[in-house]
Structure 1
Amino acid sequence: MSDTPRLHRAGPALLERARELRPLIEREAAAAEERGRLTEPVVDALHDAGLFTVWIPAPLGGAESAPTELLAVFEELSYADPSTGWVVMATTLENGTAGAYLGDDAVERIFAGPRAPLIAGQGTRPGTAVPENGGFRLSGQWSFASGMPHAQYAHSLGAVEGSDEVHICVTPIEDVKPLGNWDVLGLRATGSIDYAIEGAFVPESYTHVFTLDEPLRGGALYRLGLVDQALICHSGWALGVGRRLLDELARHAAARSGRPGQIAASDAFHTGFARAEAAFRAASALVRQTWADAERILEDGGRPGVRQETMLRLALNHITSTLTDTARFCYAAGGTSALRDGLTQRLFRDAHAGAAHITSGPQVLAACGRELAGLAPGESWVVFGLEPA
């Protein structure tokens, strides 16, 4: 059981460092998009700023940020570049939960270096983990391993043969076979490749039950469990991308003010922009409110209940759908400037790519509605659905 049961707060330093990196991230974004991975100057700068430690438990030397602090960091990085924000949120979730939940032998090795380890992989569709002499023999194929080109370890879901258990298995990158098929419309610089593992041995210390919500290291953040922590990632990402879309459109309109026939003089544009701002700000407020409420529960030593988990999922689903509405409005209002290759086009593509993630899927929204309507008595959240307790 954790020896720091209360919620840890890292303070504002990492957010300030993320903000300072914005000019570099923006300069490198086009090159990263072309290469299908973040550039080395950006990865090095993120390491040097300590941003890959944002989720690592404090007993391991990490920042162990609180949920609202994580939201702010991911919002800032995603505002600078959606792919950069996505890679940081994905890899830090995985190195943070590894630090909290893996066994001592694994943690001593993985976190021994001078830099935070980067762990990438996929935790929704399982491969097969066959029990074998103090560990598991892992095989399978997984999709969308965001940040894999920069990682030293892979985080993969494995269904344990002969049981109902599902484990996260952490393996050295040398056990991973990249499938080299990253050819997508948006979030191109995330390098979210598909990969395979063929019979790698994973010591038990390098695994944990997927639904584990009692950390071996660190505080109350890790009582959320892996899935609820993942909601922080995608909510913070949507906050940053949506805000950047609206800010870019405002700059575009202002630059054309005074020219005949431009959107700056259009009442229809003014009305549409007001509605887009209101909708996005309202969705953002719901995210911030629900996570502030969850923090208070964690600070009091509790865990979110069913209704609170519903609201966390609903807030993510709502801001994600609002983000795609915002992207469509900004793209259409941008006219031929948005049509050409450039920032607005990239933001439009990235917004729609990110919105396709399973955490914001329609089945989650339907389950939220069922619970909120009082139609799921005695049920609780299991990953992305409600099941009888």
Structure 2
Amino acid sequence: MSDTPRLHRAGPTLLERARDLRTLIEREAGRAEAAGRLTTPVVDALHAAGLFGGWVPVPLGGAEQSPRELLDVFEELTYADPSTGWVVMATTLENGTAGAYLGDDAVERLFKGPRMPLIAGQGTRPGVAVPENGGFRLTGQWSFASGMYHAQYAHSAAAVEGTDEVRIFISPMEDVKMLGNWDVLGLRATGSIDYTIDGAFVPYSQSHDFGTTEPLRGGAIFRLGLLDQALICHSGWALGIGRRLLDELAGYAAARSGRPGQIAGSDAFHADFARAEARFRAAAALIRETWDDVERTLDEGGRLSVRQETMVRLALNHITSTIAGVAGFVYASGGTTSLREGLIQRLFRDAQAGAAHILSGPQALQECGRELAGLAQGQSWVVLALEG
């Protein structure tokens, strides 16, 4: 169990470095989209800036940012390019939780290099793990492994044969067969391919209970558990793409100001833009209010209540549905500019892809409503459902 009970705050350094990378990330975004993965200059720059260590516990050389600090960094990187923000949020989460929850000898193997390892994979739709002396034999197929092309290790969920236990397994890439089947509408540069593992041995220390909230190293953020920490990722991503969508539309309208028949002179457009801005800002305010409340609880050494867990899920669901609507408004307002290949079109496609993620799906929203209405007495959150 961690001996650092309070929430650690890293300060503004990584956010400032993320801002410094905006020009590079924007310049490389088109190439990344065409290649189906981030470009080498961007990945190298993210490493050099220390951004892949933003979630890693301090004892392992990471920054161990707080939830609000992580939200700000993911917002900034996503504003520059949604695929870049998505890859960083996914891999830093998996780097951080590996550092917090794996056994000592596994951490020594993974984190001994001159720069942070990259861990990518999928923590849902589990494979099967068969116990064997000192570890497990892992087999399965997983989908949507964002950042896998840049990773050295895979993060995979699997059910332990003969038990009800689900664990996360960290496997070297030589045990992974990448299927390369990422042909999608949006978030193309994330390279979120499917992959398989066939009977690879994983030492026990290179795995951890999916639901653990007791870190072996690092501070209070890791007492949130894997799922609640993942909500930080998607919330920060939504903040970034929502803001960029509206800013791009404002720039598009301003560039056409004074021309007859353009949206810049339309009273209806002005009113619709105001409504979209208000909806996004309100959803963003709910994200920040909710995570501020979480940080206060962690600072006091507490754990989240059922209502707090409801609210972090609801805040994510609300902002995701909000940006999907904002993206539709931006796309429709952009006319033929939206129709052609370009930033507005890419932002629209990326917003639709991000909104399809399971964490923002209808099940969680329905369960949030049930709890808020007082119809889940005595129940608690288990991933995306309330159980009692």
C-alpha distance after superposition, 1:177-230 (max 9, x if no partner): 011111001000000000000000000000000000010000000000000000
Aligned counterparts of 1:307 and 1:114: Cα–Cα separation in 2? 42
Can you give the 5+ residue segments of structure 1 that lack an aligned partner in the other structure?
none
- In the alignment, which residue of structure 2 is the partner of 1:108? 108
Q: Tell me the amino acid that sits aligned with residue 131 of structure 2.
A: P
Aligned counterparts of 1:126 and 1:354: Cα–Cα separation in 2? 21
C-alpha distance after superposition, 1:111-131 (max 9, x if no partner): 000111100000011000000
C-alpha distance after superposition, 1:9-31 (max 9, x if no partner): 00000000000000000000000
- In the alignment, which residue of structure 2 is the partner of 1:201? 201
- In the alignment, which residue of structure 2 is the partner of 1:261? 261
- In the alignment, which residue of structure 2 is the partner of 1:41? 41
Aligned counterparts of 2:295 and 2:214: Cα–Cα separation in 1? 16
SS in 1 for 2:198: strand
Q: Tell me the amino acid that sits aligned with residue 119 of structure 1.
A: I
- In the alignment, which residue of structure 2 is the partner of 1:214? 214
| Length-normalised TM-score, structure 1 | 1.00
SS in 2 for 1:116: coil
Aligned counterparts of 1:204 and 1:213: Cα–Cα separation in 2? 18
C-alpha distance after superposition, 1:128-186 (max 9, x if no partner): 00000010000000000000000000000010001010000000011000111110010
- In the alignment, which residue of structure 2 is the partner of 1:314? 314
Aligned counterparts of 2:308 and 2:120: Cα–Cα separation in 1? 28
What stretches of structure 1 move > 2 A for 4+ residues in a row? none
SS in 2 for 1:38: coil
SS in 1 for 2:317: helix
Shift of the alpha carbon at 1:99? 0.1
Q: Tell me the amino acid that sits aligned with residue 115 of structure 1.
A: R
Shift of the alpha carbon at 1:302? 0.4
SS in 2 for 1:258: coil
C-alpha distance after superposition, 1:20-47 (max 9, x if no partner): 0000000000000000000000000000
Number of residue pairs aligned between Structure 1 and Structure 2: 388
Mapping of residues 125-164 of structure 1, within 5 Å: 125-164=125-164
- In the alignment, which residue of structure 1 is the partner of 2:170? 170
SS in 2 for 1:233: helix
SS in 1 for 2:42: helix
Aligned counterparts of 1:296 and 1:335: Cα–Cα separation in 2? 45
- In the alignment, which residue of structure 1 is the partner of 2:239? 239
C-alpha distance after superposition, 1:223-250 (max 9, x if no partner): 0000000000000000000000000000
| Length-normalised TM-score, structure 2 | 1.00
The question of 1:25 aligning with 2:25 is answered: yes
SS in 2 for 1:213: coil
Aligned counterparts of 2:246 and 2:370: Cα–Cα separation in 1? 33
C-alpha distance after superposition, 1:308-360 (max 9, x if no partner): 00000000000000010000000000111111000000000000001100100
Aligned counterparts of 2:274 and 2:92: Cα–Cα separation in 1? 35
Aligned counterparts of 1:150 and 1:174: Cα–Cα separation in 2? 13
- In the alignment, which residue of structure 2 is the partner of 1:381? 381
C-alpha distance after superposition, 1:77-105 (max 9, x if no partner): 00000000000000000000000000001
